[in-house]
Chain A
Amino acid sequence: MAVLAQLRREHYGYTLKKDLADQGLEIDEGTLYPLLRRLETQGLLVSEWREEDKRNKRFYRLSPSGKSVLKELLVEWQSINAAVNRIAGGTRSVA
């Protein structure tokens, strides 16, 4: 979900990893790069090879289908998050 959210803006592999890490989510590169390919295969991302700084780079961004999946995931996440917060708050008051 974090990857999908980050790819609302176009990134290539290395900057995506760096941006996620800067925001506190370190993802192992052995997980991240194959994940990008899998998400693309599932139609959630689109990619494009483009030359930048005299080198070909693969840029990923969210596809229209990825945008709607991300929207659903965010709603689900917020509802789970709220529920967990309520439970955690309740537990604290009992303790």
Chain B
Amino acid sequence: MTLLDRYLEAVRKTLPRNQRDDIVAELRDILLSQIEAEETSQRRRLTDDEIAAILKRFGRPMTVAARYGASSYLIGPTLYPAYLASLKLVAWVLGPMAGLSLLLSVATSDNPFRQTAWHLLLFTVIGLAHFAIITLIFARAEKGTAIGTHSDSWDPRSLPSPQRLEPPARSQLICSIVLMTFYLLLWIGAFPVNAWVARLNAWVGSTPLPYGFAPVWDAVSPLVVALMLTSIVRDIVSLVRPHWLTLRCYIGLALHVGALLVLIRLVRADAVFVVTDPAGIGADHIGHFNQLFFMVLFVAVSGAFISTLLAVQYVLRHRTSYA
């Protein structure tokens, strides 16, 4: 992909959708004409550096797109790069601080689960407050456009190559189908796991754990089965129709949302493990056991939430870029 293609792709992203192809075609023609005129006058092909200089002179992709779009915005194309850089800076400062503070408090606290929850809440509030303040400052600066000076410190060569949807490899799909089928069979009890565990305990001479699964697992089971089946069907469809990528993309998003719902349901339960021993053996430790698992679940929920957001962004990006 040439520098010009990358530049036009960056412009395309923020253009009004109904005119996108037409404007990009026209911009391509305009820029190619400039490049050709320059090549004619110099009697040689232009280097990437020279093409980059032409693109730089033409303007930042967002600025160029804004000239064609009648849309109004809170933070315009001139200030947006500085706004983004400010948000990134705050994230880079707050992120490690939050991580360090969380580690210290968890290591020194009697109730690590509560401390984790409290710290995550605290830093979410601090992060949102910073986000709001920075957004307000830039929105104010946008209104008084006198502050918005045009920066020339961008380089067209740093524009990213657009990520296009690619069908997954067949081997990857087959592995995924086999693994997911195995997990599904395991989940619905197709394998005599309890008998295997009992036999293993008898063989090594240890007593079985006095814990079992809490009723919440039965509550989430239909959704888990549905998610696994959907995943298997999605991969089979991808094997047969590798280029049905949009469908795969949307199903992937639905799977992320489903997994997040399952995890949230588990986190909200009173307990995920219960004592199964009639004599109440293990009752002293069940609280700690659950607490430990809740911590793991809490991290999993955060991870699932972030990955769902990324999946939404992925779907939106490909929807807007290639629809």
- Could you tell me if B30 and A13 are in contact, using CB atoms closer than 8 angstroms? yes
Given A14-B34, A14-B37: A34 and B67 within 8 A (CB)?
Answer: yes
A37 to B70, CA, bound (A): 12
Residue interface mask A11-41, B partner, CB < 8 A = 1: 0111100100000000001110110010000
B residues sitting closer than 8 Å to A (CB atoms) are: 23, 25-27, 29-30, 32-34, 37, 58-59, 63-64, 67-68
- Could you tell me if A55 and B67 are in contact, using CB atoms closer than 8 angstroms? no
Given A14-B34, A14-B37: A30 and B29 within 8 A (CB)?
Answer: no
A58 to B67, CA, bound (A): 18
A29 to B63, CA, bound (A): 12
CB distance from B34 to the nearest CB of A (A): 6
- Could you tell me if B64 and A30 are in contact, using CB atoms closer than 8 angstroms? yes
- Could you tell me if B67 and A57 are in contact, using CB atoms closer than 8 angstroms? no
A residues sitting closer than 8 Å to B (CB atoms) are: 12-15, 18, 29-31, 33-34, 37, 49, 55-58
- Could you tell me if A58 and B58 are in contact, using CB atoms closer than 8 angstroms? no
- Could you tell me if A13 and B25 are in contact, using CB atoms closer than 8 angstroms? no
Q: What is the chain B residue whose CB lies nearest that of A15?
A: B33
Identify 5 residue pairs between A and B in the complex whose beta-carbon atoms are under 8 Å apart, listed by A's number.
Answer: A13-B26, A33-B67, A56-B29, A57-B29, A57-B33
CB distance from B275 to the nearest CB of A (A): 72
CB distance from A63 to the nearest CB of B (A): 18
A55 to B58, CA, bound (A): 21
- Could you tell me if B67 and A12 are in contact, using CB atoms closer than 8 angstroms? no
Please list the 10 inter-chain residue pairs (A to B) with the smallest Cβ-Cβ separation, ordered nearest first: A14-B33, A34-B67, A13-B30, A57-B29, A58-B26, A34-B68, A30-B67, A14-B30, A30-B59, A58-B29
CB distance from B198 to the nearest CB of A (A): 74
CB distance from B78 to the nearest CB of A (A): 12
Q: What is the chain A residue whose CB lies nearest that of B34?
A: A14
A15 to B30, CA, bound (A): 9
Other than the given A15-B33, A30-B64, 10 more pairs (CB < 8 A) read: A13-B29, A13-B30, A13-B33, A30-B63, A33-B67, A34-B68, A37-B26, A37-B68, A56-B29, A58-B26
